Structure 1
Amino acid sequence: METNVKAIELKDMWRRYKSSGDERARERLVVAYSPLVKYVSGRMASGLPAHVDEADLISYGLVGLINAIERFELEREIKFETYAITRIKGAIIDELRSLDWVPRSVRAKAREIERANAKLEHRLQRAPTDEEMAAELGIEVQDFLASLLQISNSTIAALDELWTVGDASGDQVSLLDTLQDPGAPDPAAVMDQTELKDRVADAIARLPEREKLVVALYYYENLTLREIGEVLGVTESRISQLHTKAVLRLRSRLTDDDR
């Protein structure tokens, strides 16, 4: 009964805000959906360096929530929560990027690994092993694995990162969004998103089985890296390496496709 009452109240707040721009209704919508910000911030904080304050992430995420409320169209065939989570993540990532807190050396290392992966995949016609990647980079295998951990601990190496595709509203969409139904924008945008979705699906299908499993458990089952480690019987650090490798592979493949 209480759930029904809340749903009716939310529907009324949406109607009042969208029909007349009622600021009080907008404020109540922000409060009602604020748990989404805490959820997204907590999830993102678990994969970021310890010096990143979750309270800061929440403040950045609130900007995304407010933007989502202002831009959401009630007639869209998509749940507001789905739409808002993407905007909240995007606002947090935008702010972290603007602060430029990722060391240049780490960004350079990530790009170097992406290029090496693309080069080896062309040559081998399969995903390269850790040993092959290390040889291509001219380093020891343990140094390659250490680089993956450094990248994982210093960057937002995730499918949640914004990708260079715009939707009909002019927003950017995340790479992860392309694996889901983002609603129905204009036909051209639908074609663009369908093409990218196919490319991402193909790239994920070509991942080594263990990396593919990590992607599935993390993004679809919402397990943390620690929980995935418990499922697979390995350390959280090893799962972090697998996750970072998977994301760098996907980014190198999609970037290479655009050349």
Structure 2
Amino acid sequence: MSTASTVTTELTQPGTRGTKIAELDLPDVPNPGEVAPSDAREISRVFFVRLAALEEGTHEHQYVRNTLIELNLALVRYAAGRFRNRAEQMEDIVQVGTIGLIKAIDRFELSREVEFATFAVPYIIGEIKRFFRDTSWAVHVPRRLQELRIDLAKATDELSQRLDRAPTTAELAEHLGLDEDQIIEGVVASNGYTAGSIDMPMDDSSDHAAVPLSDRLGAPDADLEAAENVQALKPLIKELGDRDRQILQMRFGEEMTQSEIGAELGVSQMHVSRLLTRITSRLRAGLLAVE
């Protein structure tokens, strides 16, 4: 049963259904979703007449509206069948299409003198396409760029056939009546439509076996970072006093322990620890300073 029938009203409660339906002067439809499409078309016409006369928000209006939704769910399944080859689950597509059906029911008027199915199917398909447009992109981009991607694809195909070559940015801009910067922005945004895994093997048409892209990606060079830090430290170390530079040399150059440094300088190990903390804190602050 669809979500449209989940709202319980006094019209669907045992013992009251028949009486209330009789009061509405409507045919009794115990299982609207099981009605054949040809019968649903005629019954829907009767329900639309009654819906137009009911006040919105009442239990009666809700019952008639919900019944119309269930009667016409076959239209949603028919429209959703056009997209069965998409990666999305069919259940999700049907749910989105049902939103389009509800919009069509709320906007349909018998005075239009068109069949409801003819009126509703464009709403259903439009809602499904909107769903694909908003969710199919690997990277979210603004709606205008999503629409520009479609325009660019059409313009590229048309100009390629006319010119017998790929069109330039300037030609695309002239064809679409846009600036070249807008064309470039649209082309760049189009790259976000799909995304590949870095673990996917890359085929470089060589004799070697394909390897994942992740194996070809670079990584930060730890030695290069260390070399940059050394170069950045040199002017900071020059600003230190002779004794501080001597302590740094003994601790990090000669790799002496704090006790050995203390014995060399004639001070306690704790005092050496405090001196090293002060020196390294000063150097760290100099490295992290933002000019």
With normalisation by structure 1, the TM-score equals 0.40
With normalisation by structure 2, the TM-score equals 0.36
- Higher Cα Rg, which structure: 2
Considering Cα pairs closer than 8 Å and 6+ residues apart, tell me whether 1 or 2 has the greater RCO: 1
